[in-house]
Structure 1
Amino acid sequence: MPTIVQCPTCKNDVVWGETSPFRPFCSKRCQLIDLGEWSSESNAISTPLTTEQKHGDAQAFIEEVEAMLAQNEDSFFKE
């Protein structure tokens, strides 16, 4: 049984195989629409987080956990 995927542009079903030369697109038209979105920068690959952003998020998370732990009674840790 052939694999069926959805065209990223119009969402029509596309057979993933030799019978669909524009796969994953259903047609040349949909392929060109997608290309136009990339060339006009409507679509873009996100930039990876910098080391500073990663550490900032981790530090905020640690501080949040520490604040939650500080709110618990001492008996919470002894059980």
Structure 2
Amino acid sequence: DEFLEDLHVIRESLTGHGDKNVADRELKDLIRLVETFGFFLAHLDVRQESSRHTEAVAEILGTHGIQYLEQSEAQRLQTLAELLR
């Protein structure tokens, strides 16, 4: 496992440069976790229903006096485009 090999290289480097405390605590714990459970990357979908985003944007823009929820979809797009410039 490349990640585990990299962790061992980092540990050796820390130990060699006088940071044995870090190498023997946090990093050693991480090495044990990777040895036990492995290391996996997973796709995480963080999309939400669009109404939640609309409400959040409306709340933020409301603090600046912009009535976002009262605007049409076209007006909302124009407002956001102008603010992002």
TM-score, normalised relative to structure 2? 0.30
Question: Which structure has more helix as a fraction of its residues?
Answer: 2
TM-score (norm 1): 0.31
